[in-house]
Amino acid sequence: MHSHHLLLEEPIRMASILEPSKPSFFPAMTKIVGTLGPKSRSVETISSCLKAGMSVARFDFSWGDTEFHQETLENLRVAMKSTRKPCAILLDTVGPELQVVNKTERPISLEAETLVTLTSNQEQEATSNLLPINFSGLSKAVKTGDTIFIGQYLFTGSETTSVWLEVNEVKGEDVVCLIKNSATLSGSLFTLHVSQIRIDLPTLTDKDKEVISTWGLRNNIDFLSLSYTRRAEDVRQAREYLSKLGDLNQTQIFAKIENFEGLTHFDEILQEADGIILSRGNLGIDLPPEKVFLFQKQAVYKCNMAGKPAVITRVVDTMTDNLRPTRAEATDVANAVLDGSDAIILGAETLRGLYPVDTISTVGKICAESEKVFNQDLFFKKTVKHVREPMSHMESIASSAVRAAIKVKASVIICFTSSGRAARLIAKYRPTMPVISVVIPRLKTNQLRWTLTGSFEARQSLIVRGLFPMLADPRHPAESTSATNESILKIALDHGKASGMVKSHDRVVVCQKVGDDSVVKIIELED
């Protein structure tokens, strides 16, 4: 990959663009998060998704019960075993999501320039002029002239499946709205979003807590996607809740930014969260369309400088029903990669889309092409400048390892780590080559039982751009003799050779601890 590194700023022979890309052992450095659901839950389909490049599976609890998701997860485990491909688990909370309840599931046609009433009486049947909702406080939150959007996946830009309403009057607990565009709503649940209005509901609801403490705990979830994160306090409260649930104190919290409040408090949220998910569906409603790109670029930049994963949603919506993305969508994926995103979430495209495997494969190919023209040199300089001097010991080692790897055109960087932090710091500098993160398990005790750490740390690197984990044999201590380190290094190199990452005469940069010292060394492989 690194040897064919181009820059968009440099002249590229136009004919070379048509040359087929060389196959690589992995689809891309940018990670793909696939949402598993009705169209992507069989062992066969999940296996194909893993082979196509999915490294994190998202379980969206906005729909489906725990039993349904448990069956899907069991199928994922079978698929992982048969494909020998690791996959992390992300639980996406519902949060304070407002929903229209359509118990009959019959399609509802809404006509422009007519009135529709939103009522908190959920016993009523949904019709073209009456929509029951799951929140009784709407009438207190809105006023005449406010904008409300309703749709299944906000917002595709296709106004035939989503409706735009303007508040006409508030009658007691009912809100009467003028319909601005004709649309047909289909399915049992549609999301309701009030533009730039604070909804007074807890970020982590009782329903979310129940799912986390049962399904989440049972399955040792790696990531919690905290929907509608509005302030840093939301993340702190979620972390406090997880800390009481056994192994879930290791679960990473990704704050999902999806409205103006989250945007306003972005800096404090970033400080508190382990990563950020930019939920562009809802953000596209709270922000004018011409401002969305600006927030995305700024938010991704801030995540990059903080060394925390930035994840982008809603990239190839049309692939839910089509085999190919639009030209604008393909460019959007590429720009997300060029901006510095770590991962891309596929929602409806894999959840209920007709082509889940093709979608993952297509997005992976676009990411791989974009990575070839990513300006690593400029990115490296910006990151070093942002860190400032004097650098911390770890930061200095990580940046030195990346600089050395690029100078000697290494094929991979191998990093020995027990917490995963050293490997994430190396990935922060966006090397052009993959980083094999060798996680060395540690033995720890809570006075009642001994446990081995390592599996969480290994899986959690599956959402970080360019990081590819492997779990070392727990019988090898982390800060050990050079002989033990050499034997683990040999296993890591064998893994690299088997997967096609390294071959004879390649140079490899190794970052490891020897005693109390951190060492960066360059080795050249023999035949």
In a domain, 9, yes or no: no
Task: Say if residue 22's pLDDT is above 70.
Answer: no
- Among 372, 387, 413, the domain boundary falls at 372
* C-beta neighbour count of 527 within 10 angstroms: 5
- Among 136, 168, 194, the domain boundary falls at 194
The reported pLDDT for the residue numbered 19 is 72
**356, 235: one domain:** yes
Query: Mean pLDDT lowest for which of 159-173, 427-441, 457-471?
Result: 159-173
Beta bridge partners of 164: 149
Task: Say if residue 451's pLDDT is above 90.
Answer: no
Mean pLDDT of 13-38: 80
The CATH code of the domain that includes 366 is 3.20.20.60
Locate 140 and state its tokens: 């207190």
Indicate the burial class of 448 (C-beta count within 10 angstroms; 0-12, 13-18, 19 or more): exposed
In a domain, 17, yes or no: no
**434, 357: one domain:** no
Mean per-residue pLDDT of the chain = 87
Using 50, 70 and 90 to split pLDDT, how confident is the model at 356?
A: very high
Using 50, 70 and 90 to split pLDDT, how confident is the model at 446?
A: low
**347, 289: one domain:** yes
Report which of residues 324 and 485 the model is more confident about: 324
**347, 215: one domain:** yes
In a domain, 4, yes or no: no
Report which of residues 518 and 387 the model is more confident about: 387
**466, 503: one domain:** yes
The reported pLDDT for the residue numbered 478 is 47
**441, 505: one domain:** yes
Mean pLDDT of 151-174: 76
The reported pLDDT for the residue numbered 198 is 83
The CATH code of the domain that includes 475 is 3.40.1380.20
The reported pLDDT for the residue numbered 3 is 44
Report which of residues 350 and 519 the model is more confident about: 350
The reported pLDDT for the residue numbered 452 is 66
Mean pLDDT of 306-316: 94
Query: Mean pLDDT lowest for which of 186-190, 208-212, 356-360?
Result: 186-190
The reported pLDDT for the residue numbered 10 is 67
Give the structural domain span for 175.
108-150+159-181+188-194
Domain count, the chain: 3
Please state, for a pLDDT cut of 90, what percent of the chain lies above it: 56
State the Cα–Cα distance between residues 286 and 195, nearest whole angstrom: 5
Mean pLDDT of 150-163: 66
**213, 313: one domain:** yes
Task: Say if residue 348's pLDDT is above 80.
Answer: yes
The CATH code of the domain that includes 165 is 2.40.33.10
Mean pLDDT of 274-294: 88
The reported pLDDT for the residue numbered 419 is 83
**257, 367: one domain:** yes
In a domain, 272, yes or no: yes
The reported pLDDT for the residue numbered 2 is 44
* Helix residue ranges, H only, 340-414: 348-351, 356-372, 376-387, 393-407
In a domain, 421, yes or no: yes
3 state DSSP class of 466: coil
In a domain, 102, yes or no: no
Angle at 513 between CA 512 and CA 516, to 5 degrees: 160
- Among 372, 400, 419, the domain boundary falls at 372
In a domain, 11, yes or no: no
**117, 133: one domain:** yes
The reported pLDDT for the residue numbered 5 is 61
DSSP string, 182-200: -EEE-SSEEEEEETT----
Task: Say if residue 188's pLDDT is above 80.
Answer: no
* C-beta neighbour count of 454 within 10 angstroms: 22
State the Cα–Cα distance between residues 92 and 8, nearest whole angstrom: 36
Tens digits of residue pLDDT in 109-124: 999 999 999 998 888 8
Query: Mean pLDDT lowest for which of 82-91, 210-219, 282-291?
Result: 282-291
Task: Say if residue 140's pLDDT is above 80.
Answer: yes
Tens digits of residue pLDDT in 213-265: 999 999 999 999 999 999 999 999 999 999 999 889 999 999 999 988 999 99
**89, 123: one domain:** no
The reported pLDDT for the residue numbered 190 is 77
375 Cβ contact partners less than 8 Å away, ≥ 6 residues apart = 7, 8, 9
Mean pLDDT of 139-162: 76
The reported pLDDT for the residue numbered 475 is 62
**395, 507: one domain:** yes
Tens digits of residue pLDDT in 396-442: 999 999 999 999 999 999 998 888 889 999 999 999 999 999 888 77
Distances (CA, A) of 379 to 193, 341, 402, 430: 36, 12, 12, 8
**414, 507: one domain:** yes
In a domain, 19, yes or no: no
Task: Say if residue 41's pLDDT is above 50.
Answer: yes
pTM, 2 dp? 0.90
